[in-house]
Amino acid sequence: MEIKNTVAFVTGAASGLGLATCKVLVDAGARVMAVDLDEARLASEVLPLGDRVRIQKVDVSDEASVKAAVDAAVSEFGALHVAVNCAGILGPCKTLSKGELFPMDLWSRVIAINLTGTFHVVRYASQAMSRNAPNADGERGVIVNASSGAAWQGQMGQAAYSASKAAVIGMTLPVARDLAQYGIRIVAVAPGLFETAMSSGMPTKVSQNIVDNVILFPHRMGQAPEFAGLVRHIVENAYLNATTISLDAGAR
């Protein structure tokens, strides 16, 4: 799908991977509805990208909030062609630590944002995309979901996060099968260790150990523009569908 003149919906857009994705899509000629819980940061980071962006405060775990934002994007720009799910939280906690159990309210919050929130966007975005006129390939829309390398190789304290990100991978193929008749593609990206606000919360010892002993090459954290560049390629490459792409410098 050619990005120029498309309409994109990006969650987690106030920072990190989501913000970088907004920048790349705007540079490629898209109009973008950028959503996040942090409205102040949306205003300071996204609005300066120009008159082809709009912002809205959204809690992706709240279905009504997602629906309202998708409706606003379509109302403002006339359609929706691309959705990129970057909203997520880490929620680090051990299953059992000093006799204390992993609190179920934290488990539920991680699942609600990382998994259910992603699916809220998939549902409402695909509904909007299904109304688009198809392009020459019969394509009406593209959805990109951020998973994580933790889906396969979660670190200590990542039970909820890893479970949520593995589920994002798990739903990719069945959703792609569901949406194929509408000409809508869906791809998951599983980033390794990237320099984001989320990774900055990790102990330095843990992150450095991953860089030194897990990442093959290059020996550094990923940069948000590298993720955003892959998102752009996924949107533009019509033959990418129903798969998960690891973006992790060969981490093993």
Domains of the chain as residue ranges with CATH: 7-247 (3.40.50.720)
**Could you give the percent of the chain with pLDDT greater than 70?**
98
- pLDDT reported for residue 201: 64
Task: Kindly report, residue by residue over 6-22, the tens digit of the pLDDT.
Answer: 999 999 999 999 999 99
The verdict on whether 182 is a catalytic residue reads no
Confidence check: pLDDT of 211 > 90: no
d(C-alpha 202, C-alpha 192), whole Å: 14
- In this prediction, residues 160-166 reach a mean pLDDT of 98
d(C-alpha 224, C-alpha 229), whole Å: 9
Cis peptide before 218 (omega within 30 of 0): yes
- Contact predicate 223/237, CB 8 Å: no
Q: Of the listed 124, 161, 182, 239, which one is catalytic? A: 161
Task: Kindly report, residue by residue over 109-160, the tens digit of the pLDDT.
Answer: 999 999 999 999 999 999 999 999 999 999 999 999 999 999 999 989 999 9
| Residue whose structure tokens are 């969650």 | 11
Confidence check: pLDDT of 229 > 90: yes
Categorize the per-residue pLDDT at 202 as very low, low, confident or very high, splitting at 50, 70 and 90.
low
pTM of this prediction?
0.96
